Structure formats: C-alpha cells, structure tokens
Structure 1
Amino acid sequence: MEYVNLDARVGDLSGVLDPARYLSHLPSIFDDLPPGAWAFATSPDHYDFRSGRCVKDLTLRAVRDAGGEEMEVEFQHNCWKHDQDLLICYVGVSGFRIDPVDEDRGTDLGAVILDEILPHRDGCSHEIACWDGTLTVVCRDLQATWTETTCSSKS
C-alpha cells in the first residue's frame, strides 16, 4: 500500500489501521481515476470501520474469470459486522496477482484488512490487503455492488 497505513502508531499503540493519508490524497487523483473506481473509493462508508459497508473484515469468497478481459471478485460478509456481500466486477483487466503469505493457501487470504485504489496507465490498480496475503487487480475500471444476504448472527 502506498498511502493506507496498515501499521500506524497512536501513542504507544502500534499496528493501528489508518487510511487518513489515502483519504486526503483522493481529491488530488479525481481526474486520474475511472468513474467506477472513484465512486467505490470515495463511498462514505468504505473506510468507516463501524459501517456495514466498510471493506474491513470481509472474506474473499471467489475469483472468477467473467470472459474476455473481465473478472469478478466476490467477498463474503462477516455476520457480526455486515449484512451484505460485496461483488466487484473488473473490466479491461490487464493485471491480476494473488500473493499469499504461505504458498499452500492459494486464494484463502483470510479477512480483508483494507484496500487502496490508485491511478494506473491502464485505468486503475486495486490492492486489497488481507491478513494472509494480498490481491491486486489492474483494470480499465471496476463496479462494486453490495448484495443482501441472510445473516442470523448479526444483532
């Protein structure tokens, strides 16, 4: 991650997640991010850790080739926080990489920590940091859709 700090320090406490630098950088890249990527990155709930539409704590469920240069990445809710799943459809995919911390994990990257969308010569890059690895997609644009799910554990 270039701007999102996954190991910030607050007083004596380390390991704090801090998207503040990225959020303050976003206005300067407005003209360089595709519209779908901009809408997702600047959604008011995206980095609000108390929101059910914050990406933190989602779990990677599936990565699908949607044909041509399209790809879908599906994230499953965590019942204690979310009541929706997240589907991200990437168009014009020119790069895709999964970097698990342990090669035996494959696409099992654990829960999402945070993500960051930045301009790229092909459109944008979307880096998603998880507890057990990282997923990065380079694409022309993306469309993020939250879908209802049944979650009996959420109060």
Structure 2
Amino acid sequence: MEYVDLDARTGELSGFLDPARYLSSLPSIAGDLPPGARAFATDPDHYDFRSRRCVKDLTVQAVRGAGTEEVEVELRHNCWKHDRDLIVRYTGVSSFLIDSVDGDHVRGTGLGAVMLDEILPHEDGCVHEIACWDGTLTVVCRDLRATWTEAVCSQA
C-alpha cells in the first residue's frame, strides 16, 4: 500500500489501520481514476469503519476469471458488521496477483478478512490493492465496478 497504513501507531500503541493519508490524497488523484474506480474509492462509507458498506472485515469468497481480461471478486459480508456482500468486476485486466500466506495464488479464498484496500491511478486505468490478514490481492485494470448485493446472515 502506498498511502494506507496497515500498522499505524497511536502514542505507544501500534497495529492500527489508518486510511487518513490515502483519504487526504484522494481528492487530488480521484480525477485520474476511471469512473467506476473513482465512484467506489470516493464513496463516503468506503473507509468509515462504522459503516455497513466499509470494506474492512469482508472476506474474499470467490475469484472468477483469473487469467482473463474480465475478473470478478466476490467479497462476503461479516454478519456482525455488514448486511450486504460486495462484488467487484474488473474490466481490461492487465495484471492480477494473489499473494497469500497459504500459497493459494488462484482462488484467493485463503486470504482472511479484509484489512483495507487502496485504489490508485495507473497507466492502464487503475490498480486496486486489497490487503487481507493472510495475503494481498492486486488487480491492474482499465476500470472496475463495485456492487453491493443483499446478503443472508445465518448467525446461530
């Protein structure tokens, strides 16, 4: 991550997630993002940890189309926080990388919960990096479209 701090400090305490530097840079880079990426990155709920539409704590459920120009990543809700799942569809994919602790470099289902993500301009459109507790998913694409879909929570 270029701007999002995944190990921020507050006084003597460390290990906090802090998107503040990214959020302060976003107004100056948003105009360079493709339309779908810009809409997703600048959504006020995206980095609001109290919001039901914050990406934090979602889990990669499935990756479809890896190795093609059209990739879809399905992120499953956390019943304690979210009421919707998130599907991100990438078009014009020029690079797709899963770096996971368990070595699953195709499905991405072993990445654990999302810590945070970051979307930056790229010469091919944008780069979307999703940092999870057990790995990272990085996609370079022409654009992306993020859609929240109804989820069914089954808490026992």
TM range (shorter): over 0.9
2:149 aligns with: 147
Would you say 1:54 and 2:54 are equivalent positions?
Answer: yes
* Letter matched to residue 65 of structure 1: G
> Within 1, Cα distance between the matches of 2:104 and 2:68?
28
Give the structure-2-normalised TM-score: 0.93
Q: Is the 8 A contact 2:67 2:96 kept in 1?
A: no
Q: Is the 8 A contact 2:31 2:38 kept in 1?
A: no
Give the structure-1-normalised TM-score: 0.94
2:6 aligns with: 6
Root-mean-square deviation (Å) = 1.8
What secondary structure does 1:15 align onto? Answer: strand
> Within 2, Cα distance between the matches of 1:68 and 1:100?
20
Q: Which runs of 5+ in 1 are unaligned?
A: none
> Within 1, Cα distance between the matches of 2:30 and 2:61?
30
**Which whole-Å deviations, capped at 9, do the CAs of 1:120-150 have from their partners, x for residues lacking one?**
0000000000000000000000000000112
> Within 2, Cα distance between the matches of 1:15 and 1:101?
19
Q: Which runs of 5+ in 2 are unaligned?
A: none
User: How many equivalent residue pairs?
Assistant: 154
Q: Summarize the alignment of residues 125-140 of structure 1 with structure 2, pairs less than 5 Å apart.
A: 125-140=127-142
Alpha-carbon distance, 1:50 to partner: 0.9
Q: Matched residues, percent identical?
A: 75
Runs of 4+ in 1 over 6 A off after TM superposition: none
* Letter matched to residue 139 of structure 2: V
**Which whole-Å deviations, capped at 9, do the CAs of 1:84-122 have from their partners, x for residues lacking one?**
000000000000000012326862100000000000000
> Within 2, Cα distance between the matches of 1:111 and 1:92?
26
> Within 1, Cα distance between the matches of 2:130 and 2:41?
12
Alpha-carbon distance, 1:153 to partner: 3.4
* Letter matched to residue 33 of structure 1: L
1:20 aligns with: 20
